[in-house]
Amino acid sequence: MEDVAALLECQQLRIHKAGSSPEECEDAERVWSGETRPDGRGNTVVPLYAAVSDGASESLLAGAWADRLVADAVDCLSGAHDWWDDLGGFVEELMTRSAGRWAAHLAQYRAEREARGRPITWYEQPGLAKGAFATLLGAEVRATVSDTGACSWAWHAFALGDSCLFQLRDGALVRAFPVESAEDFGVTPQLLGSRNHDTALVTDRLAVAHGTLEPGDEILLATDALAAWLLSPRHGGVAPGHQLAMVLERDQESFPEWVDDQRARGHMRNDDVTLIRMKVRAEA
Amino acid sequence: MPYTAEISRTNPGCFIFLVDQSASMSDPMVSGERTQARAEVVSDAINRLLTELSVKCAKEEGVRDYFHVAVIGYGHNHVGSAFQGALAGRDLVPLGEVANNPARVESRTKKVPDGAGGLVETSVQFPVWMDPVTNGGTPMTRALGYADSLVANWVEAHPSGFPPIVLNLTDGESTDGDPTSAAISLASHATADGAVLLFNLHVSGSGGTPVTFPDTEEGLPDTYARLLFQMSSVLPSHMRSYAASQGHRVGETTRGFVYNADITSIVEFLDIGTRATELR
């Protein structure tokens, strides 16, 4: 089954906003190869879990919160098999891990600041009281291998906010989730707050989607600036996936250079950019 | 599309507050359930605006310089910086420096929900950059001219940035002539992203219903209010959207004018990135 896992290529990229330092980047991403397991129907499942999160600029500790969320999201995805069958239970587990542990993180942060002789100031107090906020997108790409050795591919994703999943075939968009139009990005996406303990509300607002993959298909998980670029009509007649693939398959420096160029041309908003790219090899 | 330029540390915005410090500002006005001197209402508004702006731009390492801010007072023989304390005498100051240098930080009580349906008093820190000052005439025309110089320099240095915002807080009784042409001149400066935005907060003893972001001068109680309404810029479309989301009725001719009401909410009109909003 290790051979099956090798059929899924995976890249992770993160570029900070121009004018900010890399440490100030408030996006986070995580990928985790899960354990191969039987699915109870005579097949073997080979999963890969991925998550991206975009911390809200106007909240404090948004980067740390986004880091917490992606780590907890892949943990929860890998801990629950068909997690979408009990979405309420899945959300409760996620929020218990993330929001439940945030108070301790905050207490530690305050103590560290005190120890450094830089206690919390009046202008930080309201933001810390309000909590940290971030989007969250989690996905599982799953290969299911039957006892005859036939392999099928599928994805299952959840989203809160405007971090997006795209399915590409031959470089063209086959599916965009949860935002489907470039005009739908704004400065008030749905966000998961560190003080939100309303499991029912989060479960209700969480969007869930599924799809099947063919050999050669790609899945992209992207934060909003790149997601908006992928959905914009300005690609000069070249499929967006092809443009991106040319950049991503060149060398390590190409992606930051390309992002800078797109920003300079006004084709991409200046914001942190995060991308997880997963490609099912054609030979699969 | 105008008024969409990025506001960031590399492309900062410019916020100029003009504060009427004339003798007439010692007259009382009804503010909520209290009667206060107009000068006190205005200095409270400035201190709260600077607080809200600082909180909005605060990150873990301090307040980011997304804006450069000036507080210009105008009264007897004086048009110039109204900052007190370490910033005294300064015009445009980066926001991080403003946040780190209030003249003092007071402790005030505030009523907050107690979680059981009631209210409980709690102590909050209230930074103060300026105290009420009342003295002499109201050289509003000169004050607008002073802002004009600051704005001209800013626009030259930031030709493609978000245009400067000038907020004038006054009882409207200019004593150095009709300020209209100075206001028109000020609002004629522009960056590639749009013309300067001139907003007015009118604090008045004339009474009547408080008005927030009107689209007509009909119903305003006196000539001062109407003059300040006419001097005020039409709100750009994204600001109209925020005003609407705060429950104000807005149209395409809605202006940045407030009569005897709170104007602190304009800080929410400024886009510096994703807003921290609870899930609904």
Average pLDDT over chain A, rounded to whole? 92
pLDDT on residue A234: 74
Q: How far is CA B79 from the centre of its chain?
A: 17
Q: Which of A133-147, A207-221, B203-217 has the lowest mean pLDDT?
A: B203-217
**Separation of alpha carbons B68 and B64, rounded Å:** 10
Tokens of B217: 């001068």
B174-190: per-residue pLDDT in tens? 999 999 999 999 999 99
- The alpha carbon dihedral of A259, A260, A264, A269 has a sign of positive
Of B58, B99, B279, Cβ closest to residue A191? B279
**B163 near B194, Cβ under 8 Å?**
yes
CA of B233 vs chain A CAs: smallest distance (Å): 24
Nearest CA in chain B to A190: B279
Residues A37-62 have a mean pLDDT of 93
- The C-alpha angle with vertex A185 and arms to A180 and A187, in degrees rounded to 5, equals 155
Is the pLDDT at A2 greater than 70, yes or no? no
pLDDT on residue A1: 55
> Is the pTM here over 0.95, yes or no?
no
**A278 near A8, Cβ under 8 Å?**
yes
CB contacts under 8 A, A 70-109 vs B, are none
As for the ipTM of the complex, it is 0.91
Q: Is A244 left (phi over 0), alpha (psi -120 to 50) or beta?
A: alpha
When comparing pLDDT for A7 and B241, which is higher?
A: B241
Q: Which of A241-255, B166-180, B187-201, B245-259 has the lowest mean pLDDT?
A: A241-255
Q: Which CATH architecture has domain B13-269?
A: 3-Layer(aba) Sandwich (3.40)
Is the pLDDT at A13 greater than 70, yes or no? yes
User: Chain A partners of B125 at a C-beta cutoff of 8 Å?
Assistant: 122, 125
Question: Would you call A266 an interface residue with chain B, using a CB distance cutoff of 8 Å?
Answer: no
CA of B124 vs chain A CAs: smallest distance (Å): 9
Q: Do A56 and B279 touch (CB under 8 A)?
A: no
Q: Do A60 and B58 touch (CB under 8 A)?
A: yes
Q: How far is CA A114 from the centre of its chain?
A: 33
DSSP chain B: --S----SSSS-EEEEEEEE-SGGGGSEEEETTEEEEHHHHHHHHHHHHHHHHHHHTEETTEE--SEEEEEEEEETTEEEE---GGGTT-SSEEHHHHHH--SEEEEEEEEEE-SSSSEEEEEEEEEES------S---HHHHHHHHHHHHHHHHHH-TTSPPPEEEEEE-S--SSS-THHHHHHHHT-EETTEEPEEEEEE--SS-S--EES-S-STT--SHHHHHHHHHSPBPPHHHHHHHHHTT----TT-BSEEESS--GGGGGG--SSS------
pLDDT on residue A187: 83
pLDDT on residue A241: 87
Does 3.30.565.10 match the CATH number of domain A2-280? no
The tally of CA atoms less than 13 A away on the side-chain side of residue B236 is 20
Is the pLDDT at B53 greater than 80, yes or no? yes
Question: Would you call A192 an interface residue with chain B, using a CB distance cutoff of 8 Å?
Answer: yes
Residues A74-80 have a mean pLDDT of 92
Domain boundaries of chain B, sorted by first residue: 13-269
User: Chain B partners of A202 at a C-beta cutoff of 8 Å?
Assistant: 279
User: Chain A partners of B274 at a C-beta cutoff of 8 Å?
Assistant: 54, 56-58, 133, 187-189, 191
Q: Which residue has the tokens 């005009």?
A: A183
User: Chain B partners of A121 at a C-beta cutoff of 8 Å?
Assistant: 99
A233-260: per-residue pLDDT in tens? 877 778 888 889 889 888 778 999 999 9
Average pLDDT over chain B, rounded to whole? 93
**A80 near A90, Cβ under 8 Å?**
yes
**Separation of alpha carbons A225 and A242, rounded Å:** 18
B108-164: per-residue pLDDT in tens? 888 877 777 888 888 888 999 999 999 999 999 999 999 999 999 999 999 999 999
Q: Do A271 and B58 touch (CB under 8 A)?
A: no
**Separation of alpha carbons B50 and A200, rounded Å:** 38
Residues B250-276 have a mean pLDDT of 90
Nearest CA in chain A to B52: A123
pLDDT band at B266 (very low <50, low <70, confident <90, very high): confident
pLDDT on residue B108: 86
Across the A:B interface, residue pairs with CB atoms under 8 Å apart total 80
Is the pLDDT at A230 greater than 90, yes or no? yes
Residues B198-219 have a mean pLDDT of 91
pLDDT on residue B28: 87
**Separation of alpha carbons B82 and B132, rounded Å:** 10
pLDDT band at B31 (very low <50, low <70, confident <90, very high): low
Q: Is B253 left (phi over 0), alpha (psi -120 to 50) or beta?
A: alpha
When comparing pLDDT for B34 and B279, which is higher?
A: B279
Is the pLDDT at B278 greater than 90, yes or no? no
